[in-house]
Chains A and B, each alone.
Chain A
């Protein structure tokens, strides 16, 4: 791998027929995004308006209650709330008052819609407007839906960021500025900031910001580089505010990171020599770190269950940089615009969209992959059948983007193999 050229595979997945499935989905709903979003934006609070199930889901999905101090809560609907929407709105106002009274440190409050609030047609955007008037100048109150009838897992982040876009200040000039969209670990943001600086690209802003009160600006000069492959609505909303969307693979692995940075470099007219010299060091470091895990992964057969939308870029990284062979790559939904630069790079494989979990398990078990990437509900049952697994949720919660995380990413997949090799019980 050269790190500068980006060879399209002979037969990629751009035109591969997709296996579309409709059935039981073993995938979280969009509420789950709150688990990382409430950590990323330190002055934001997420109030789910939903059922006891919603409250139970978030605390269970969060690694089962790891944080004693959440910046999220649920306004649990009761029988009386279902009886009359007028009262329901009053109740919501009361709960918001109670919450904001307790949390004077909150600058942005998201009212998050759920399946029940959608079905009873509780208008949270109107509630947000109403409450915004009451709290003007102190708390910004926004709404989005994380309901399972409308969103899957990471689409919750898309919906949340989409709700923030109208709040972003207009850029004061039309001169080019880079906006990196999609939650990244703070350490990864810092690494990318240094690289952009090295490349002479600036100003650079990240979205979501670490403080919701300090939103980046957007305008005709804004060049949007997506750091996550699930921000369809957000990207469109940014485009509607004049921003330009840069097409690139996602910054996973040396190759992905290089191509992702190059998309920005090209848009900012960075000289090829400057680009090459800026990334040479980190890319070389990443390649040698990555080589350590190649032995564990090369030739291994990997099966992806749909989970976070990261499946296609992850599969591309594993296939091209770690030498795995892909049995099936499942994705909750296939958004061809968002993965336009990824699909041609992905070696031909079975691409599946949606899920019928029983049938997919049949396919998986029949093929006996060396590694199955799946959610927490499936992992132990597959392990019990002698299959090695990787929890996909860890890939959403870990810093995996960029050069200096490329080897960490490979290690996450190599660890189950190494563990299996060690155990003699």
Chain B
């Protein structure tokens, strides 16, 4: 039993819904009680879809239990088939149906429908959404392609009249910016003479899945969903995969080189002709102030890995935290974290992530909708880089993450929440200007954060009970802060002198937390009992900015 406030991933059947909703010609019959239809609104509201997800719920009730819930499955399958005439039917169970063991998939298989019926066995009490999506995509692909090894297509050639063909595997409904990434990667491949054969699951039909092996290779855009399928296509049908995910300038270059090797095409011209502004924007003097900005990254595996690389190599940030909720990609994220001298945070516990962010005192948080909440509470700038996300992260404009344009979008999206360089200097220099009150946000952003000093950026308030909100939080935090100072002499921690505390307040709030922590660490290491103005500056001299 796990105490959970917010969850990063839904149950595995929601993953199956993401695959069904991505595609055309697929229908999903879900054995589930009333209430599970809530999942429809994820698609119709967050992604503003104009069609309902292609899902029929059996909607069993307490009075059906012990009676004939199995019959509900059979009639729901029959009605769904008759009404929607799908090319393939997925049949599965939500968490409650799993407990009553009606074997919905087997029942549907026994109905002799004239289309492929794919039973989904997705254990709800041990697995989660991305895994469910991955399994669903794999089983559906397997059903459509078949397990008998297919002949590889004749190698592409100018004489043969065709260019190399690739499938794009992984983009899905409720995937982060998938709609735009598909367009971007398609253009990227076209720029080196590669055509896209099938994009799946997003926009594909079961009939199109059946032709996957007609492509020369697969491009694995989102391993969380496509890895299992791509490995199977490689193992059984001999299809090679391109596994570099082209998020960021460096990764996009590597992606193209990998495509070049796998497809046998020349790519260097395409790389030289790249239209990304990120490299120049990052080198322009205005970006100097980005140097060493402390950034905390927590996301799904794919986007966390990409973000860590971009942050470090392409924007010159310092990564102070890296983690993922996607246990399936824990190994890769651990390796990346180790390379950065960090210990990866692998968890799906929102509270643990909040603690880690608070402790790391970053200047920018790159995360999901959950980290947006955390950053809001801590008054930190934040950009969303991965699902789960909110309706506001499905922009109307073309807004990819992948390819050259994706890098441009990322530069803008991550730099925008930060304070501009000269503005930051002015705030540093003239702390006493009455308009530079604590909480003066970046002037190009409308909503200025409120009362940062009593936010959780202050260590004392991290221990504040979470129940109180708004004014109550403020009051409690002040009280907690006072209590903490009073208690300080008892412990080994140094006590702030009033002069020291006053001087600390002259440091703008967005770096004050770090200054406070550094100074306290400095004092503790040296056994300094009282932190004075001098201690503050000695610590500053010791640690640098």
Contact = CB atoms under 8 A, between A and B. Distances in A.
Interface residues of B, number: 66
- Most chain B CB within a 10 A radius of its CB, from A24, A27, A51, A76: A24
Interface in B19-69: 33-42, 44-46, 48-52, 56-62, 64-65
Contacts of A99: 3
A172 to B, nearest CB: 31
Contacts of A102: 465-466
Contact of A119 (B5, B58, B100, B377): B100
A147 B124 CA distance: 17
A272 interface: no
A109 to B, nearest CB: 12
A118 interface: yes
A18 interface: no
B238 interface: no
A116 B96 contact: yes
Contact of A103 (B57, B60, B125, B466): B466
A61 interface: yes
Nearest to B128: A52
B51 A381 contact: yes
B35 A78 contact: no
Nearest to A99: B3
B213 to A, nearest CB: 35
B38 A60 contact: yes
B38 A119 contact: no
Given A51-B95, A74-B4, A152-B34, A56 B125 contact: no
Interface string A90-119: 011011001100111110000000011011
Given A92-B1, A116-B96, A376-B45, A53 B34 contact: no
Contacts of B36: 29, 53, 57, 148
A423 to B, nearest CB: 15
A148 B369 contact: no
A61 B41 CA distance: 8
A17 interface: no
Contacts of A152: 34
B467 A53 contact: no
Interface in A24-58: 24-32, 43, 45, 49, 51-53, 55-57
A183 B33 CA distance: 26
- Most chain B CB within a 10 A radius of its CB, from A64, A71, A94: A64
- Most chain A CB within a 10 A radius of its CB, from B45, B96, B128, B469: B96
B467 A71 contact: yes
Nearest to B38: A57
B126 A78 contact: yes
Contacts of B64: 149
A306 to B, nearest CB: 11
Nearest to A393: B41
Contacts, number: 208
B44 A116 contact: no
A75 B42 CA distance: 22
Contact of B5 (A61, A70, A150, A377): A70
Given A60-B39, A103-B467, A380 B50 contact: yes
A26 B35 contact: no
B170 interface: no
Contacts of A29: 33-36, 38
Contacts of B126: 78-79
Given A148-B36, A149-B34, A119 B50 contact: no
A25 B469 contact: no
Nearest to A51: B95
B373 interface: yes
Contacts of B465: 102-105
B51 A78 contact: no
A171 interface: no
B511 interface: no
Nearest to A43: B467
A167 B453 CA distance: 41
A56 B7 contact: yes
A376 B44 contact: yes
Contact of B34 (A73, A79, A98, A148): A148
A96 B35 CA distance: 25
A120 to B, nearest CB: 6
Contacts of B9: 52
A145 to B, nearest CB: 9
Contact of A27 (B34, B76, B100): B34
Give the interface size bracket for A toward B: 35 or more
Interface string B363-384: 0000001100110110000000
B526 interface: no
A107 B57 CA distance: 38
B373 A149 contact: no
A69 B469 contact: yes
B226 to A, nearest CB: 23
A28 B76 CA distance: 19
Contacts of B100: 119
Contacts of A32: 35, 38
A28 B7 contact: no
Contacts of B38: 28-29, 32, 56-57, 60-61, 377
A115 B69 CA distance: 14
Contacts of B469: 69
Contact of A68 (B83, B123, B373, B467): B373
Nearest to A385: B50
A383 interface: yes
A65 interface: yes
Interface in B72-120: 76, 79, 83, 94-96, 99-100
Nearest to A59: B6
A53 B65 contact: no
Contact of A51 (B3, B124, B373, B390): B124
B96 A55 contact: no
A137 interface: no
Contact of B40 (A23, A26, A148): A26
Given A52-B7, A103-B465, A119-B99, A76 B2 contact: yes
Nearest to A91: B1
B76 A24 contact: yes
Nearest to B43: A377
Given A73-B4, A95-B3, A119-B65, A56 B10 contact: yes
A375 interface: yes
Given A25-B34, A69-B469, A75 B377 contact: no
Contacts of B466: 69, 102-103
Nearest to B123: A79
Contacts of A383: 50
A76 B388 CA distance: 19
Nearest to A98: B3
Interface in A103-158: 103-106, 115-116, 118-120, 147-150, 152
Interface in A226-255: none
Interface string B124-167: 11101000000000000000000000000000000000000000
- Most chain B CB within a 10 A radius of its CB, from A31, A76, A105, A358: A76
Contact of B41 (A25, A119, A376): A376
A216 B427 CA distance: 53
A334 B350 CA distance: 41
Contact of B95 (A53, A103, A104): A53
Interface of B: 1-7, 9-11, 13-14, 33-42, 44-46, 48-52, 56-62, 64-65, 76, 79, 83, 94-96, 99-100, 123-126, 128, 369-370, 373-374, 376-377, 388, 390-391, 465-469
27 contacts: A24-B58, A26-B37, A28-B38, A32-B35, A32-B38, A51-B96, A52-B95, A53-B13, A53-B94, A53-B95, A57-B36, A59-B6, A60-B39, A64-B391, A70-B5, A73-B3, A75-B2, A76-B2, A103-B465, A148-B34, A149-B34, A150-B61, A152-B34, A377-B40, A380-B48, A380-B49, A380-B50
Given A76-B1, A79-B126, A92-B1, 11 more contacts: A28-B35, A29-B36, A53-B95, A82-B125, A95-B1, A99-B3, A116-B96, A116-B99, A148-B35, A149-B34, A149-B96
